[in-house]
Structure 1
Amino acid sequence: MTIIARSLTGRFTSTFTRITLVQPPPIESQDDLQAAKELVDACERIRQQVSRVVVGQDEVIEQLLIAILSRGHCLLEGVPGLAKTLMVRSLAESMDLTFKRIQFTPDLMPGDITGTDIIQEDPQTGHRQFIFEKGPVFTQMLLADEINRTPPKTQAALLEAMQEHEVTAAGKTYRLDEPFFVLATQNPIEQEGTYPLPEAQRDRFLFHVVVEYPSRDQEAEIVDRTTSTFNSAIEPVVTGEEIIRFQRTVRRVPLPPHVKDWVLDAVRSVRPKEADCRPWVRELVEWGPGPRASQQLVLAAKSRALLKGRTHVTLDDVQALAHPVLRHRIVPTFAAEADGITVDDLITRMIRDHAGAPAKVL
């Protein structure tokens, strides 16, 4: 596959550079199929371990696993007490990953996240030098708890780490250990004194996951477990190296042309500045999703396909993940908010426009 990229040289002249995109071979051989089977088995073992301490939340756990397999980050939104922190810690333990938690507060500084240079004196020579003290971002799974309670300057300290998997301090760049994931939480209530995430940082998250209340039966089991002597430990069932190998397998899942066309058409259709967008989009959407939405919807759909035991992506995969991928990338207009129309409503309407029927979400 080749594309033509234009590069400007000088003020009036221009040249064209041919770039060849090398596609990874699709999953075809017996070894590839075995790797896909190992991925499914590993994720099932992770689910079993997490279920020892977390009751329910199966859909949330599946979306977190998809994000991890897609090498993406997650923003979890839910009221207090829904086991968000416990869920993330349990995932880290089941995958034998290092885990750290940052409680975001209004007085948190960027250096509190990334680290800072400190003066260290040699007791024998008396010589002093700056030593970089690594912050909590130097881990494999980072829980950014209540990320919307800290100012934008501190929120932005995570941007480079999330995107580049590295930290720059005092002119030096430090690589983070792989695999690296940021799972951030925010509270949908008590918005006074909070700092909404900038669009640029929200776009860095693969998913915006909504954590709902448990069912009555699930809540009854939670009460039984937490008010008795029940205790269950999490055992590591996979390693970080295996997760990295699974991430490579995900990228080799083939994408059928008709699924790719559906993703492009659907995502572009909710951009109000597109000439052929529908009238309701111009009325109800202030800003639509960018190209990263298409990229991450495809990548997440590949992960979901493997989890469902398939080595190819279907329309069900992209439609099932459209809400968590797009809900933080669409800004509704004032008219939509005044009428009580949510972003999820807009995404559902987008799916119906391009499916001809209500979306099938599995």
Structure 2
Amino acid sequence: MSTETQLIDWRDKALQFEQQINQVVIGLQPAVRNIILAVFARGHVLLEGNVGVGKTTLLRAVAQGLGGDYQRIEGTIDLMPADLIYYAYLNSEGRPCVDSGPLLKHGDTLATFFFNEINRARPQVHALLLRAMAERSINAFNQDYALPHMQVFADRNRVEREETFELPAAAKDRFMMEINIDMPNSDAVLDELMFNPRFHDTDQLIGNMSNNRFYYQLNDLAQTLQQHIQTSPKLRAYALSLWKATHQPQHYGVQLSDVEMPQLLMAGASPRGMSYLIRAAKTRAWLEHRNHVLPEDLQGVFSVCMTHRLFLNPMYAYRKEQLLPELITGILNQVAAP
């Protein structure tokens, strides 16, 4: 089978997978599309949203469709790094025993790892997770364990801030995307969620999904996809200008109300972040039936790939919910596309 034929076949599978998820969680199409992009670009995802908007159901649907094993851990103030690796207990005979924790329980068949309320966990836990995310391996019991197919999804509760730890820049930068899961604003969707019994039994809803079991093929597919989708010299120059604008937006004519632009940013996007942006843009082009990247592909994933990588100076940090979206919009409007 030629590479072109292989990618067409996989695109059909990806779009069918997306359609299945949209039947399980309704009213979240933009978020679902971004998660599909992250899955096929092999990037980790940070989710943010209010309580009860479908984040867990969405990830369970993703895990069901991908196949492989799914693990979930709850972030708590007393969670320690060792809790990700093992847990100790007394068996029925009163003897101490040690079993594998959530990162090791399924070995190399672990496909989807969900860290719920990651900002409640201590920085030491974040540090351990970073290695697992970056290297897809972990050291325990004096040996390395490979996690070649693991994709991490972490959730931050946007409402509650007590007993939480802000994720450090290094942790945020390991996530390809930060996706906001917003409450559906359509009356028809809300009516379905409230009154259609189909959406009241989550286990049955997800159990009806097909288990495609293609998780173990995604790494090779992503590599083929990234090599096959092309970028022109003008597109590359445009991407470079976007990156520079995340560091010095005032040089591109970006102006925000009541802001001294040279003092706005403490740090812009990292080279790793731009690499993730290109990977996501290539995947978007592929899903749009193209073998080359257009400016609209970069623009379509710029916000979810860049917003969590821009760090405001303390004098403006309290306005970040307002300023960061305005900055992203300003950059896309002011940087000339080819």
Aligned pair partner of 1:216 in 187, 199, 210: 187
Structure-2 residue corresponding to 1:188: 158
Distance 2:38 2:98 in 1: 31
Report how far residue 48 of structure 1 moved: 2.6
Distance 2:336 2:252 in 1: 16
Report how far residue 246 of structure 1 moved: 2.3
Structure-1 residue corresponding to 2:124: 153
**What secondary structure sits across from 1:327 in the alignment?**
helix
Structure-1 residue corresponding to 2:170: 200
Report how far residue 286 of structure 1 moved: 2.0
The change in CA–CA distance for 1:282 and 1:100 in structure 2 (over 3 A counts) is same
- Which runs of structure 2 are paired with 1:1-362 in the superposition (5 Å)? 31-115=2-86, 133-138=99-104, 139-176=110-147, 178-214=148-184, 215-226=186-197, 231-232=204-205, 233-252=208-227, 253-272=229-248, 280=255, 281-337=261-317, 341-355=322-336
Structure 2 residue identity aligned to 1:135:
G
The change in CA–CA distance for 1:34 and 1:356 in structure 2 (over 3 A counts) is closer
Unaligned runs of 5+ in 1: 1-29, 121-129, 358-362
Structure 1 residue identity aligned to 2:267:
W
Query: Does structure 1 retain, via aligned residues, the 8 Å contact 2:17–2:65?
Result: yes
The change in CA–CA distance for 1:43 and 1:169 in structure 2 (over 3 A counts) is same
Distance 2:327 2:294 in 1: 22
Query: Does structure 2 retain, via aligned residues, the 8 Å contact 1:114–1:157?
Result: no
Greater fraction helix? 2
The change in CA–CA distance for 1:263 and 1:114 in structure 2 (over 3 A counts) is farther
Query: Does structure 1 retain, via aligned residues, the 8 Å contact 2:254–2:331?
Result: no
Distance 1:133 1:200 in 2: 30
The alignment-based identity, stated in percent, is 26
Query: Does structure 1 retain, via aligned residues, the 8 Å contact 2:284–2:297?
Result: yes
Query: Does structure 2 retain, via aligned residues, the 8 Å contact 1:74–1:205?
Result: yes
Structure-2 residue corresponding to 1:124: none
The change in CA–CA distance for 1:309 and 1:348 in structure 2 (over 3 A counts) is same
Report how far residue 81 of structure 1 moved: 0.5
The change in CA–CA distance for 1:223 and 1:254 in structure 2 (over 3 A counts) is same
Unaligned runs of 5+ in 2: 105-109, 256-260
TM-score (norm 2): 0.86
Distance 1:170 1:103 in 2: 23
Report how far residue 133 of structure 1 moved: 4.1
Structure 2 residue identity aligned to 1:250:
L
Report how far residue 318 of structure 1 moved: 0.4
Report how far residue 150 of structure 1 moved: 1.1
**What secondary structure sits across from 1:144 in the alignment?**
strand
Report how far residue 355 of structure 1 moved: 3.0
